[in-house]
Structure 1
Amino acid sequence: MKFDGQIVISILLAVLMVRLLRRFFDLPKRLPQWDKLLTWIWVPGVGLGIIDLLFSFRNDQLDEVYMLFVFGVVILVLVAIQDYRPARTVLLAIVPYALYSALELVLALSEWKLGKNYEDAFDASQGFTVIWMITFILIARNQKRNLEKERLLREEEEQEKKRIAAQNVELERLVAERTATLTKQTEELRKALTELKTMQTQLIQAEKMASLGELTAGIAHEIQNPLNFVTNFSDVSAELITELEEEKRKPNRDANLETELLVDLKQNLQKITHHGQRAASIVKGMLEHSRASTGELQPTDINTLADEYLRLAYHGLRAKDKTFNATLYTNLYPELGQVNAIPQDIGRVMLNLFTNAFYAVQKKKECGADGYVPTVSVSTRRTETGDVEVRVRDNGMGMTAQVKEKIFQPFFTTKPTGEGTGLGLSLSYDIVTKGHKGLLTVESQEGEFTEFTIRIPS
């Protein structure tokens, strides 16, 4: 007995072919059941080898039968995974060779002899099938590489999508956190704004009360003069009446003296009436200033307002500092006429400007400048366009360019803490520009003068 070596080679080739097939098509994942069966592909070959050894077949075609069997199994596997494009290509590659091998085996078993020409053509077709198989196997390999690249690209895209999705989730979380933070901050800002508005209202009211305090102090000092006159003339009138009564009781009455006493008494009563009216007008002005503004424009005597508030501001400062004195100048245009304005508001503006002017000259006086005479002036005129112009000038401390740029800003003040709110000029600016559609400007030179100009359209 002699074991045929061809069958051994065929078994090795079959095992190698199946191994390559399993790796190339990843059969453990695609066809796990077929993959297990393919591990036993060598068993039929060994069985044929044993049969040949035991029965001593003279026919040496058992290896070809076995290879056809292997090719058949491979074809079945490829048909099972034909949805995979390289599998279809490999199937197309080996089918011609398998058909040729089957035809060759049939001819060998039937001992059918072909002619010389046909044998040459048959041999040539064998070479063609081999080249065909190798070519399509190479094509299948390229297809697999391309598919692998596409798979890796898809995996990368999936990974990128997952990464983007994770980033989106994180961004949504961050946006939600930021939104919550901004919402909280918005609520805090809204609360702070409400508190700020309340505080602003309180400060504005405090500024108005401070203005009213300045006005009241000036009024108290100003009203003292007519009241003193009323008191003095009342006392003198009482003395004149006493003298007149005594003269009437005399046996020899002096008619000329009685007439003179009556004339003096009448003059005193006229002076009492005059100064009483003056005191009443001052009280009326105080009441108008303290009364809430109606916001309606009405004919207003600007000259009268300027003159009264200049003196009221001056006496208001003197009520605080009895040693303070200043020179007052008024240059009021006599033909100014009535101006459409809100008297209470314009009065507040003038009182604020006069108060600031007296404050400035007082501070310069305190510096002890030799020969310095504190002076505050007010002038009115009609411009070429018909507007009414009021100028308030002082020879006080003046201001720098930086201070002049900020002078109308809310809460800005050059006064020490506790002496000013920084709202006086800001409110005055709003009253003139917004309430009267006018202009409020300032010119100043540090250490020399400051001049505010109010311009109200006619």
Structure 2
Amino acid sequence: MRNYISLARILLNAGKTDSCIYYTGLAFQTSRKNNFLHYELNAAKLLAQAYQVKKMADSGVRYLTIAMIINDSIFSQARLRQFQAISFSEQQREQEMAAAKERYQSQTRLYGLLGVLFVSLLIAGILYRNNRQKQKANILLNKQKLDIENALSTLKDTQNQLIHAEKMASLGELTAGIAHEIQNPLNFVNNFSEVNTELFNEMEIEFKHGNPDEAFAIAGSIRQNLEKINEHGKRADSIVKGMLMHSRVHTGQKELTDLNALADEFLRLSYHSMRAKDKSFNCEISTDFDPGLCQLNLVPQDIGSVFMNIYNNAFYSISQKQKKQNGGYKPQLEVRTKKNKDTIDISIRDNGLGIPHEIAGKIFQPFFTTKPTGQGTGLGLSLAYDIVVNEHGGTISLNTEKADCTEFLVTLPIR
């Protein structure tokens, strides 16, 4: 027992409280079993001290009380032996024995009162310490709460800024596509206007030289050119009207929309945007739009941004694969729509780099991107998921074959 208690004291001083309690407990149980009161007393005191270190007040008070009881027991046995010795040797001094007994009882009562007072003071000290610790913990929790609220506010601001940046990037790509697409009819208008100016000069010369037949033939060519100018002018007008429709204030209100036209329009804008960035880019585009598609009640700007994001990713993947291939690669993008009983499917499939299976489950997570740093925020597909699933009650999923093709399937309910 002595070795256990000595080892336990060393462990307690070393800060290994649990090990101290274990060995002291062994010494305590062994001492109690063999009625070794002194070792039992030392073990009880050491256990009380160890539990106080672990801030287990109830266990500490329990073993402290046990120590006091053992101490009283040891003291009682010693006095009893002394009393018996005095009785045996001094039987004639009964009055002195009575006085000694009275003193003993007084001391016992005093020790009892002192013990109660000590325990009361100990409990009061423990309660006071716990209360102080609780106050400090509350202050710390309030500070941590404020820090978390500030961090959350900062995170929301940063997230809003990133979402705004993603929308501005999409707007830039949309503008580039519109500018590139409108450039074609404007080039035709400018070219035919220049040709007509030359033809007017030739017609005046023919009239002056008395060749009306030749002049009228030139006038016919001018008329054909004017028809071409009118045709391409109307084409530019339709592009501008479409641009104005998509750049109007976004109210978030749903309206009946031709999904085929919406998918086709943003397909052209995305393609021309890619062509504006890379003049050498080319891709075979095929569409298979279901003619029986009904108009859907949706937010056209939001669904358009979903299409734009998927198209942009597809053309980017195709462009990267083109740069890696030496030859023999034929870039292809296929867009299909299909009407089901209660839903409409929109399939967008490309034969670019594909998406590895091990990261396919992460692509809809915010801030996840496979593009190099600075070329993507990782919010495009996350916003697309939110628009399709949360705003329109649909689904968006990915079918991928690594290094072969990527297919996004958007399903919208018919309501």
TM-score when scaled to structure 2?
A: 0.72
| Structure 2 residue aligned with 1:315 | 272
In 1: Cα distance, 2:285 partner to 2:336 partner: 11
Among 403, 411, 414, the alignment partner of 1:447 is 403
| Structure 2 residue aligned with 1:410 | 366
Among 362, 365, 383, the alignment partner of 2:322 is 365
CA spacing shift, 1:18–1:211, aligned 2, 3 Å: same
8 A Cα contact 2:286 2:335, kept in partner: yes
User: Which secondary structure state, in structure 1, belongs to the residue aligned with residue 361 of structure 2?
Assistant: helix
In 2: Cα distance, 1:364 partner to 1:159 partner: 83
CA spacing shift, 1:258–1:334, aligned 2, 3 Å: farther
| Structure 1 residue aligned with 2:347 | 391
Identify which range, 272-281 or 188-197, moves more after superposition: 272-281
8 A Cα contact 2:334 2:350, kept in partner: yes
In 2: Cα distance, 1:422 partner to 1:311 partner: 23
User: Which secondary structure state, in structure 2, belongs to the residue aligned with residue 354 of structure 1?
Assistant: helix
- Give the 5 Å matches for 1:125-204: 152=112, 159-204=118-163
Q: Which string of whole-angstrom CA distances, capped at 9 and with x for unpartnered residues, describes residues 241-271 of structure 1?
A: 33333344344522xx455444433332232
Q: Which string of whole-angstrom CA distances, capped at 9 and with x for unpartnered residues, describes residues 247-298 of structure 1?
A: 44344522xx455444433332232222122222223333333444211111
Q: Matched residue pairs, number?
A: 326
8 A Cα contact 2:204 2:215, kept in partner: no
Matched, 1:219 2:173: no
Matched, 1:281 2:238: yes
Q: Which string of whole-angstrom CA distances, capped at 9 and with x for unpartnered residues, describes residues 399-426 of structure 1?
A: 1223111110100111110010000000
In 1: Cα distance, 2:367 partner to 2:170 partner: 16
8 A Cα contact 1:443 1:452, kept in partner: yes
After TM superposition, give the deviation of residue 338 of structure 1 in Å. 2.1
In 2: Cα distance, 1:158 partner to 1:260 partner: 127
After TM superposition, give the deviation of residue 342 of structure 1 in Å. 1.1
In 2: Cα distance, 1:222 partner to 1:252 partner: 42
In 1: Cα distance, 2:377 partner to 2:116 partner: 67
8 A Cα contact 2:353 2:403, kept in partner: yes
CA spacing shift, 1:425–1:362, aligned 2, 3 Å: same
In 2: Cα distance, 1:393 partner to 1:28 partner: 100
8 A Cα contact 1:22 1:28, kept in partner: no
CA spacing shift, 1:411–1:248, aligned 2, 3 Å: same
| Structure 2 residue aligned with 1:145 | none
After TM superposition, give the deviation of residue 29 of structure 1 in Å. 5.8
| Structure 1 residue aligned with 2:165 | 206
8 A Cα contact 1:289 1:348, kept in partner: no
Identify which range, 346-355 or 161-170, moves more after superposition: 161-170
After TM superposition, give the deviation of residue 382 of structure 1 in Å. 0.7
In 2: Cα distance, 1:290 partner to 1:166 partner: 72
Q: Which string of whole-angstrom CA distances, capped at 9 and with x for unpartnered residues, describes residues 92-135 of structure 1?
A: xxxxxxxxxxxxxxxxxxxxxxxxxxxxxxxxxxxxxxxxxxxx
User: Which secondary structure state, in structure 1, belongs to the residue aligned with residue 93 of structure 2?
Assistant: helix
Matched, 1:379 2:326: no
Q: Which string of whole-angstrom CA distances, capped at 9 and with x for unpartnered residues, describes residues 334-368 of structure 1?
A: 23242211111111111100000011111122222
CA spacing shift, 1:311–1:253, aligned 2, 3 Å: same
Task: Give the percent of matched residue pairs that are identical in Structure 1 and Structure 2.
Answer: 45
CA spacing shift, 1:364–1:251, aligned 2, 3 Å: closer
Matched, 1:343 2:300: yes
In 1: Cα distance, 2:397 partner to 2:109 partner: 79
| Structure 1 residue aligned with 2:102 | 25
TM-score when scaled to structure 1?
A: 0.65
Identify which range, 437-446 or 13-22, moves more after superposition: 13-22
CA spacing shift, 1:341–1:259, aligned 2, 3 Å: farther
In 2: Cα distance, 1:442 partner to 1:192 partner: 34
Q: Which string of whole-angstrom CA distances, capped at 9 and with x for unpartnered residues, describes residues 366-418 of structure 1?
A: 22254111111211121232x22211111111112231111101001111100
Point out where structure 2 has 5 or more consecutive residues left out of the alignment: 1-88
8 A Cα contact 1:326 1:374, kept in partner: yes
Among 362, 376, 385, the alignment partner of 1:420 is 376
In 2: Cα distance, 1:399 partner to 1:149 partner: 86
CA spacing shift, 1:19–1:433, aligned 2, 3 Å: same
In 2: Cα distance, 1:234 partner to 1:157 partner: 113
In 2: Cα distance, 1:27 partner to 1:425 partner: 88
| Structure 1 residue aligned with 2:67 | none
Q: Which amino acid aligns with 2:376?
A: G
Q: Which amino acid aligns with 1:345?
A: D
Among 393, 409, 413, the alignment partner of 1:437 is 393
In 2: Cα distance, 1:216 partner to 1:434 partner: 27
CA spacing shift, 1:28–1:161, aligned 2, 3 Å: closer
User: Which secondary structure state, in structure 1, belongs to the residue aligned with residue 212 of structure 2?
Assistant: coil
